[in-house]
Amino acid sequence: MSAFGGFDLFELFRAEIVAHGASLNDGLLRLEQNPADVHPIESLMRAAHSIKGASRVIGLDLAVDLAHHMEDCLVNIQKKVEVCGPERVEQLLGGTDILTQLGTLQEADLPTWKSTNAVDINALITALSAPPQAMPASVKVAKPVDVVEPFVPAAEIIQPATESLVAPTNPSTAALSATKSVAGSSEQPIQPSDKSGNTAKSVAAAAAPEVRTVRVNAENLDRMMRLAGESMVEGKRFPQIRRGLREMKSQLRFARDSFESAVKRRDAAEISSSLARLASIESSLTSHAEFLENVFRRTEEVGTKLYHEVIGSRMRPFGDVTAGHPRMIRDLAKKLGKKVRFDIEGAHVAVDRDVLARLEAPLNHMLRNAIDHGVEGPEDRLAAGKGETAHLRLQARHHAGMLEVRIRDDGRGIDPERVRTKVIEKRLQSADIAAGLNKTELLEFLFLPGFSTASQVTEVSGRGVGLDVVSQTVREIGGTVRLESQPGQGSEFILSLPITLSVIRAVTVMVGGEGYAFPLARIERIVKVDSASLKSMEGRLTFELDERSIGLLRASELFGISQTTESNSSSVVNVVVLGDIDNPCGLVVDQFMGEQDLVVRKLDPRLGKTPFVSSAAIDDEGHAILIMDVEDLLIGIRRGLSEGGVRGLDIASLRRNSSGRKRVLVVDDSITVREVERQMLARLGYEVETAVDGVDGFTQLKAGRFDLLVTDVDMPRMNGIEFVKALRREPRFATLPVAIVSYKDRAEDRAAGMEAGANAYLTKGSFQDQSFIQTITDLIGEAQT
């Protein structure tokens, strides 16, 4: 239980600290760039004042004192009592860092925060109270974790790359783990370890919020409430309609009875009166129908609006994720002795909060790399004929239904020839092939894991470090990333991402009578292929698409479910083409159902990781539908094919019904027996499929159409007797002819087989004479239908 009267109060405090901390950071950076501009000071004062007030409510006197002195300082600057110099900005930023730590703490960590920061806060208060020139040397100014150590060769940066990807960009969160990044620095961290050295770790661990809270725009919430209210009001009109209909029903019954009675009595006046009543009822019914239609239309409209508002409530401005970037860029550039102008465009662009959360680390990484490796120092830039201040731009916009994020610098760019050399050195391609790669293809190598590990070429390796993780993160949220670069002119990363993860546009298909959804963005093509145009290659079916040969696999086999008989007999194969241009796969489905927007729901965690499924949704008909994990699917397809766990689609399985020949399934765990039976039957002209045991046999029977089953008795997993019994329990197999062929020839064995539901029981000696062939022919006749 909260010491402050409830968890919510502390949650609000934290939210306020985060919001005002961001304002302080932003305003102080603007003030530093232009000390003469006093416009940001007003908002800075408000932010400091608000933090002071909130801290007072929580009872955090240390924070109150610090915020108070920061506010005093800002008042002096506004009144031009003092000029805002770099030292003062450092002090104010240091104070901001300490205060913003509060935004990530749990309530229980406050005593630790106080004891850890008391000395530094008091020193900072002294410094803020004194004229800027009199800043004591002992003041410890916080610095964010994103400030990297002095420039090190690329190879040394490689190892921490992944770590840096998960480092927080927010200065407040960064400060929590500052001990690590500033270790070895002459400055002391703002968050030192206690005697046991555990403070930073414990505070960082505690920083993980226990309860997830979501901020929703107040106007958005108001609109949702209005629509919810309206929806309820609309719902209340239905009882009125029901009452009216019931009334009309009784009127109708009365009118009908009167009419029938009048007809019997041949009472013309009464007939006329009944007819008038019926006309009145008809008129009433018409007006009711109109009323009902209005209510329906209105209900649908309100429902749709409410749906869009709810979805919209998940959207946040892109600026939410960039709040810490100006400070990070500023600190990093200063540390590396570079001059950088950083612009953000499209901070207002609305993006799903989940996309923003996933985007934070890749953006942070690419920006830091741009400053660290892409942008030259002032001397180098002047020598290259550029201005001494580099320009780094982060741009977000909605483009073609996607969020497009561009990170562009005007630095040294990437030399494709150096990349080509690396490709050959690392034996990723032969020299011949590498020589033919164009610039775009070469830059793709930078996204490969560890591509730059052995490289000492700064601009190349710097760009390669962690880019594989960037690429992977972007792919995971259904986006793409590409790099464009001109040597000497700069580089640009272009990320194309879904605007929301909550709603996806999906293609729905049927497989084995079940609906599945494929995210549209992850599908390369959907095509209907004429089975006559299929080609066989090493026993696998392929088809030609855009001069590429694409292998086919049955979705039902991958998913472990039965395929409908209709799909087997179709002369057209429905194919979903997945994968990239170089390595596409075709997944055969039963039917294409169409496109629809799906609101993505997480799968119940009790299901664990379900193969090939990423999430669930509710389709247009209100039924659950599974959304496929295309990445997982591609891995599964490739692994299955390479390990033989998944069979490619074979011609026979597709064309089995077009031949007009009868089909026999042979089930036996002995490959020799299977082969003997298969050959004997094939010689007679039957189409033969084989299975290795009862379970396999049952699966194949369900997946296809067969005219006869020939099965052994002794088999693993499911023996022949169990198999036949299970078969006979299914109505569709109740009449399927079944022949058991076994070594067991005792009378009780035969009796058991026949009782299970077999039509014939043969011993394997029947292969020697004609009894096997004769029995098959007796059961299903000649091979050709």
Partner 1 sequence: MTQLPPEDLANKKIGLTQLLARPILPSNLANNTNELAQERSQSLREEDTILLFRIGGERFALPANSVINVFPCTLVRKVPHRTRPPFRGLCCHEGAILLTGLLHVVLDMDMDKNADAKLRRMIVIGSEDASWAFEVDAVDCIRKVDPSKFRNAPSTIPKNSSSCTNCIIPMDDGDAVLLNPIAIQTIMEKAIQ
- The CA-based angle 498-499-504, given to 5 degrees, is 60
Q: Which two tokens stand for residue 44?
A: 């800075």
The single-letter code of the amino acid at 341 is: R
CB 453 within 8 A of CB 160: no
The CA distance from 20 to 96, in Å, is 9
Taking the complex as a whole, the smallest distance from the CB of residue 557 to partner 1 amounts, in Å, to 11
Q: Which two tokens stand for residue 233?
A: 């009001």
The continuous run of DSSP H or E covering 389 comes out as strand 389-399
Residue 446's closest CA among 434, 464, 428, 458?
Answer: 464
Nearest CB to partner 1, comparing residues 453 and 565: 565
Taking the complex as a whole, the smallest distance from the CB of residue 596 to partner 1 amounts, in Å, to 15
Q: Which two tokens stand for residue 773?
A: 């062939």
Taking the complex as a whole, the smallest distance from the CB of residue 438 to partner 1 amounts, in Å, to 40
Taking the complex as a whole, the smallest distance from the CB of residue 539 to partner 1 amounts, in Å, to 25
- The CA-based angle 251-255-258, given to 5 degrees, is 140
Which residues of this protein are in contact with partner 1, per CB under 8 A? Answer: 512, 514-515, 558-561, 601, 603-604, 606-608, 610-613, 616, 618, 622-626
Taking the complex as a whole, the smallest distance from the CB of residue 702 to partner 1 amounts, in Å, to 12
CA dist 559 → 160, 284, 564, 591, 643 (Å):
39, 55, 13, 15, 17
CB 376 within 8 A of CB 411: yes
Taking the complex as a whole, the smallest distance from the CB of residue 314 to partner 1 amounts, in Å, to 16
Taking the complex as a whole, the smallest distance from the CB of residue 513 to partner 1 amounts, in Å, to 9
Taking the complex as a whole, the smallest distance from the CB of residue 622 to partner 1 amounts, in Å, to 6
User: DSSP assignment, residue 140?
Assistant: P
Taking the complex as a whole, the smallest distance from the CB of residue 607 to partner 1 amounts, in Å, to 6
Nearest CB to partner 1, comparing residues 355 and 626: 626
Residue 415's closest CA among 449, 363, 482, 463?
Answer: 463
Nearest CB to partner 1, comparing residues 84 and 511: 511
Nearest CB to partner 1, comparing residues 428 and 624: 624
Taking the complex as a whole, the smallest distance from the CB of residue 138 to partner 1 amounts, in Å, to 53
Nearest CB to partner 1, comparing residues 5 and 611: 611
Nearest CB to partner 1, comparing residues 490 and 512: 512
The continuous run of DSSP H or E covering 742 comes out as strand 738-742
Residue 318's closest CA among 348, 345, 343, 344?
Answer: 348
The continuous run of DSSP H or E covering 40 comes out as helix 39-58
User: What sign does the CA torsion over 586, 591, 597, 603 have?
Assistant: negative
Nearest CB to partner 1, comparing residues 156 and 620: 620
Nearest CB to partner 1, comparing residues 266 and 602: 602
Taking the complex as a whole, the smallest distance from the CB of residue 626 to partner 1 amounts, in Å, to 6
Q: Which residues contact 662 (CB under 8 A, 6 or more apart)?
A: 686, 687, 707, 708, 780, 781, 782, 783, 784, 785
User: What sign does the CA torsion over 723, 728, 734, 738 have?
Assistant: positive
Report residue 33 CA to chain centroid gap. 39
Nearest CB to partner 1, comparing residues 58 and 617: 617
Beta strand pairing call for 523-530 and 572-578 = antiparallel
Nearest CB to partner 1, comparing residues 318 and 698: 698
Taking the complex as a whole, the smallest distance from the CB of residue 514 to partner 1 amounts, in Å, to 5
Taking the complex as a whole, the smallest distance from the CB of residue 402 to partner 1 amounts, in Å, to 27
In a 13 Å sphere around the CA of 737, the CA atoms on its Cβ side amount to: 15
CA dist 48 → 64, 65, 438, 543, 680 (Å):
9, 11, 54, 67, 90
Neighbour tally for 210: CB within 10 Å: 8
